[in-house]
Chain A
Amino acid sequence: MAEIVAAALAAHAPLITGKPEIARPEQRERLYAGFHEMRRRLAAARPDLLVMFVNDHLQNFPYSNLPAFCVGLVDAYDAPSPGGSTLMRIPPRKIPGAPTWGMALLEAGLAGGFDFAYSYEIESWDELSVPLHFLNPDGDIPVATVYTNCAAPPLPTLRRCHEMGAFVGRFARSHRGASRVAFVATGGISHWVGTPETGRINPEWDHWVIDHIERGDVEPLLRLTWDEIERDGGNGGQEIRNWVALMGAVPGWKGESLAYEPVPEWITGCGTVWVHA
Chain B
Amino acid sequence: MIAVSYPLNKILTGLARAHLTREKLSDAELAGHDLSDAERSALLAGDIRRLYDLGANPYLIRRVFRPRFPI
Residues of A within 8 A of B (CB): 57-59, 62-64, 83, 151-154, 192-196, 198-199, 226, 235, 264-265, 267
Contact = CB atoms under 8 A, between A and B. Distances in A.
Contacts of B4: 63, 152-153
State the 9 A-B residue pairs at the shortest beta-carbon distance, nearest first.
A194-B58, A194-B62, A194-B61, A199-B71, A63-B9, A195-B58, A153-B2, A196-B49, A62-B13
Contact of A193 (B6, B10, B59, B70): B59
A127 B30 CA distance: 32
Contacts of A62: 9-10, 13
A154 B1 CA distance: 9
Contacts of A152: 4, 9, 57
A20 to B, nearest CB: 16
Interface string B11-44: 0010011010000000000000000000000000
B2 A193 contact: no
Contacts of A226: 2
A231 B48 CA distance: 19
A58 B13 contact: yes
A58 B69 contact: no
B69 to A, nearest CB: 6
Contacts, number: 59
Given A152-B4, A196-B48, A198-B58, 18 more contacts: A58-B16, A58-B60, A59-B16, A59-B17, A62-B10, A63-B6, A63-B9, A151-B59, A152-B9, A153-B2, A194-B48, A194-B52, A194-B61, A194-B69, A195-B61, A198-B69, A199-B71, A235-B59
Given A63-B6, A154-B2, A194-B52, A58 B57 contact: yes
Nearest to A57: B59
B39 to A, nearest CB: 14
B71 A196 contact: no
Contacts of B58: 192-195, 198, 235
B13 A63 contact: yes
A265 B63 CA distance: 17
Contacts of A196: 48-49, 52
Nearest to B5: A63
7 contacts: A58-B13, A58-B59, A62-B13, A152-B4, A193-B62, A196-B52, A199-B70
A57 B17 CA distance: 12
Contacts of B60: 58, 194
Nearest to B8: A63
A57 B63 CA distance: 10
Contacts of A58: 13, 16, 57, 59-60
Nearest to A58: B59
Contacts of A235: 58-59
Contact of B10 (A57, A63, A194, A264): A63
A193 B63 CA distance: 10
A267 B71 CA distance: 8
A265 B71 CA distance: 7
Contacts of B70: 199
A232 B70 CA distance: 22
A195 B52 contact: yes
